[in-house]
Amino acid sequence: MLITARGLTFDVRAGGPDDGEPVLLLHGFPQHSGEWAEVIPALHAAGLRTYAVDQRGYSPGARPTEVADYRMAECVADAVALLDALGIDAAHIVGHDWGAVVGWQLAARHPQRVRTLTAVSVPHPAAMAHALATDAGQRRRSAYIGLFQQSGKAERVLLDHDGAGLRQLLSGVGEERVDTYVGPMRAPGALTAALNWYRALSHRDLEGLGPVAVPTTYVWSDGDLAIGETAALACAEHVRADYRFVRLAGVTHWVPDESPAPLVDAILARARRAPA
């Protein structure tokens, strides 16, 4: 389905019981709402109604061209506007990678719209700031961001030779699924729009966010090359509500693709513990 919000048109995969509690699913880079394909059926079977969004830059009808259009405040405002357009007062928010960043921001700045938060891979921005300041290993893990912020060069590195760079980046998702993510990124302007999330990144996005006061689960995998243990363990300090940390052993960054069953368990455990 297509939903118009804030003058943009978003692609949304909706499904599940019409009367089910709503779940807003937010994907990361360089994927799209299809990353939830192995998660969604189990959520429907549990009675939840899901809305998986192709976020700003990923929906062809929501692809502005200026870097400033991808500031985190804009991405969070999209999520709020989509909930408004769907007639949803508050939803369970599940986000992976950049979708987790939007989820943390949404939970901290608009807690009345968030029943629960399940953040996957990326911890609270303040936990990331702490790790970047104190852990040389995390700084090495995050060095790729400098490349992604280089206009033109990043696109060449990732797209040349039939998208070899993207394919290498996505190697953990499974060979049969790589093309489902690389293909859309080869459309004119698509990869640049996705990279603009990195290019619009501000230190204020990492350091200026207070603690989250909604029931929260953080799912981290110890095979994640982008997020180390220092950041993962620091996350608990930035939640002022019921909190659960789920560690997945031997799993890479691409949790929804690689390990959907334990992720479903974490989402459902969190949703079922939500206040009535």
- The pLDDT tens digits of the residues spanning 166-188 come to 999 998 898 889 999 999 999 99
Residue with tokens 């949790």: 255
The C-alpha atoms of residue 258 and residue 49 are separated, in whole angstroms, by: 23
The C-alpha atoms of residue 131 and residue 217 are separated, in whole angstroms, by: 19
Check pLDDT > 60 for residue 276.
Answer: no
Q: What is the domain partition of the chain in residue ranges?
A: 2-272
Check pLDDT > 70 for residue 165.
Answer: yes
Sort residue 97 into left (φ over 0), alpha (ψ -120 to 50) or beta: left
Per-residue pLDDT, 190: 98
Per-residue pLDDT, 243: 98
Nearest to 125 by CA among 233, 210, 28: 210
Report the pLDDT averaged over residues 67-73. Answer: 96
Per-residue pLDDT, 178: 95
Q: What is the pLDDT of residues 222-252, one digit of tens each?
A: 999 999 999 999 999 999 999 999 999 999 9
Per-residue pLDDT, 207: 67
CB atoms within 10 A of CB 242: 14
**Average confidence score pLDDT of the chain:** 96
CATH homologous superfamily for 2-272? Alpha/Beta hydrolase fold, catalytic domain (3.40.50.1820)
Nearest to 267 by CA among 33, 100, 87: 100
pLDDT tier at 8, thresholds 50, 70, 90: very high
Q: What tokens were used for 158?
A: 């990732």
Q: What pTM did the predictor assign?
A: 0.96
CB atoms within 10 A of CB 60: 15
Report the pLDDT averaged over residues 68-97. Answer: 97
Check pLDDT > 80 for residue 213.
Answer: yes
Report the pLDDT averaged over residues 194-199. Answer: 98
Nearest to 246 by CA among 94, 102, 43: 94
Q: What tokens were used for 47?
A: 């009675």
Largest CA distance in the chain: 52
Report the pLDDT averaged over residues 30-35. Answer: 98
Q: What is the pLDDT of residues 103-159, one digit of tens each?
A: 999 999 999 999 999 999 999 999 999 999 999 999 999 999 999 999 999 999 999
Classify the C-alpha dihedral 219-263-49-77 as positive or negative: positive
pLDDT cut 90: percent of the chain above it: 93
162 Cβ contact list (under 8 Å, min separation 6): none
